[in-house]
């Protein structure tokens, strides 16, 4: 199991920068904002109040109660504190769930494009992975019929993110209702719903949590966290809402790996989830503006095809028209080749769709200043123009 390609591409960009090259990195999914002051102030106060000791493995009770209240307020899901587990980032939350549910030989169904770690975590648990590919034309979403045809008696987990990383797709209420109806017919199948980008939604498709459908409530684990919506990547706080037996199993695994998540970060988490989501609207509005700019600029690049993504902070253009083109006699055969070309010749770091299970596409993050984004697209446009047939 190597480094995820998102991290690998960021590493290559840093190495190139270290040689004196001015590389623009659009490869990592991190907001370019600082954590809001009201959250930092709550952390400072927590230190004054000496929240500096060991904490319960699943998290402080009052913080879990605040997360449960957030789920009810924002998502229409009823959880008790005993159904919440706070972890060191949503990545640990996901691995806890995989370890609790998946045994060697079980099937894990993953729609593509998918976040890079789903595949590695499923592999780690010995699962047989079944990838369901999508296209730009399908809105990068699977259909209920596609899911139904993929399910076998060995199917244990369906995992997906909405809003989606890497493409920004959002499953509508109607989409999720159809998927829920299928899953409800298979009581041994569980849904892991990754909602880490929940707040980064630009209004075209409302965010809905699939656990809010009663027929799959007991089959769904909802995963969320603070990194994306609150610009808290370094605080490392993720959390789940789940059937109580799954929450207890996750707590057992976590107790042997890391114990409870950072005590100060948990107090900051309480301030974040108790706040009105409108407190971070300034970030959402800025991302929405950049999204419009990025889509417009990229549509001017020959060989790039894309639609406007309704969520997250990525554009995911299809670049198959560039495959087969050459530079200095070298043929670009894959999206990875194109990404490496854009890095080495255009000095722009991206991530190829291969990393997300969907070859022929490239992910660009627009979590960067507008001037930086504009310069990056200019460089890409020049690099593409320099390719030969």
48 plus 166 within the same structural domain = yes
* pLDDT higher than threshold 70 for residue 1: no
Q: Are residues 208 and 63 in the same domain?
A: yes
| Cβ atoms of 142 and 159 closer than 8 Å | no
CATH number at residue 141: 3.40.640.10
User: Which 8-state DSSP code applies to residue 81?
Assistant: G
183-202 pLDDT tens trace:
999 999 999 999 999 999 99
Q: Tell me the CA distances in angstroms from 30 to 108, 115, 197, 346, one per residue in order.
A: 27, 14, 11, 22
Residue 319 belongs to domain spanning: 5-30+280-385
CATH code of the domain in which 16 resides: 3.90.1150.10
Residue 70 shares a structural domain with residue 119: yes
Query: With 70 as the cut, is the pLDDT of residue 2 above it?
Result: no
User: pTM higher than 0.75, yes or no?
Assistant: yes
**Same domain as 320, residue 268:** no
As a whole number of angstroms, the distance between CA 12 and CA 275 comes to 38
Domain boundary, last residue among 226, 251, 275: 275
Instruction: Please check whether residues 261 and 311 belong to one and the same domain.
Output: no
As a whole number of angstroms, the distance between CA 44 and CA 40 comes to 6
Bridge partners of 238? 87, 225
The SS3 of residue 265 is helix
Q: Are the C-beta atoms of residues 85 and 293 closer than 8 Å to each other?
A: no
Domain boundary among 258, 275, 292: 275
pLDDT in tens, 236-250: 999 999 999 999 999
What pLDDT, in 10s, does the model give residues 71-88?
999 999 999 999 999 999
How many domains does the chain contain in total?
2
In angstroms, the CA 242 to CA 246 distance is 6
Both structure tokens of 190: 């569980």
Are 110 and 12 members of one domain?
A: no
Show the tokens assigned to 66: 């605040």
8 Å CB contact between 178 and 144: yes
Give yes or no: residues 298 and 331 share one domain: yes
- Note whether 17 and 81 are same-domain residues: no
pLDDT of residue 121: 97
Whether 191 and 323 map to the same domain: the answer is no
For the chain, what is the radius of gyration of the CA atoms? 21
pLDDT score for 18? 84
What are the φ and ψ backbone dihedral angles of 317, each rounded to 5 degrees? -70, 150
The residue assigned the tokens 């998927």 is 179
* pLDDT score recorded for residue 181: 98
Q: Is the dihedral of CA 205, 206, 207, 212 positive or negative?
A: negative
Q: Are 256 and 284 in a shared domain?
A: no
Judge whether 27 and 349 are in contact, CB under 8 Å. Answer: yes
For the chain, the residue count is 389
Q: Taking a C-beta distance cutoff of 8 angstroms, is the pair 353, 323 a contact?
A: no
| Max Cα distance, the chain (Å) | 66
Element (H, E) at 108: strand 107-112
Instruction: List 240's β-bridge partners, or say none.
Output: 85, 223
Question: Average pLDDT in the 259-272 region?
Answer: 98
Per-residue pLDDT, 142? 98
Sheet holding 351-352: strands in order across?
314-315, 362-365, 351-352
């Amino acid at each position: 199991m190597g480094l995820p390609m998102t991290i690998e591409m960021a590493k290559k960009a840093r190495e190139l920068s270290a040689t004196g090259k001015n590389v623009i990195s659009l490869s990592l999914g991190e907001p370019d904002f600082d954590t809001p002051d009201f959250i930092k102030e709550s952390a400072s106060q927590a230190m004054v109040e000496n929240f500096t000791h060991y904490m319960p493995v699943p998290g402080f009770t009052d913080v879990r109660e605040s997360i449960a209240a957030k789920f009810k307020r924002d998502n229409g899901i009823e959880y008790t504190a005993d159904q919440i587990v706070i972890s060191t980032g949503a990545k640990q939350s996901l691995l806890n769930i995989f370890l609790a549910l998946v045994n060697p030989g079980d099937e894990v169904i993953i729609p593509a494009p998918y976040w890079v770690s789903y595949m590695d975590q499923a592999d780690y648990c010995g699962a047989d992975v079944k990838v369901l590919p999508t296209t730009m034309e399908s809105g990068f979403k699977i259909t209920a019929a596609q899911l139904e045809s993929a399910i076998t008696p060995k199917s244990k987990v369906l995992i997906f993110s909405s809003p989606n990383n890497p493409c920004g797709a959002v499953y509508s209420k109607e989409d999720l209702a159809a998927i829920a109806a299928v899953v409800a017919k298979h009581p041994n199948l569980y849904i892991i719903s990754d909602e880490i980008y929940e707040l980064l939604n630009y209004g075209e498709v409302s965010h809905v949590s699939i656990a809010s459908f009663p027929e799959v409530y007991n089959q769904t684990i909802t995963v969320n966290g603070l990194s994306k919506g609150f610009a808290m990547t370094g605080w490392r706080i993720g959390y789940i809402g789940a059937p109580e037996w799954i929450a207890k199993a996750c707590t057992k695994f976590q107790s042997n790996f890391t114990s409870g998540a950072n005590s100060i970060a948990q107090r900051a988490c309480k301030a974040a989830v108790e706040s009105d989501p409108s407190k971070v609207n300034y970030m959402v509005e800025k991302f929405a503006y950049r999204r419009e700019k990025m889509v417009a600029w990229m549509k001017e690049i020959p060989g790039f095809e894309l639609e406007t993504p309704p969520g997250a902070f990525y554009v995911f253009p299809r670049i198959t028209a560039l495959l087969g083109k050459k530079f200095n006699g070298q043929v670009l055969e894959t999206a990875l080749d194109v990404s490496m070309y854009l890095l080495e010749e255009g000095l722009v770091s991206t991530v190829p769709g291969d990393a997300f299970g969907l070859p022929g596409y490239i992910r660009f993050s627009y979590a960067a200043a507008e001037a930086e984004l504009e310069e990056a697209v200019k460089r890409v446009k020049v690099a593409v123009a320099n390719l030969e047939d």
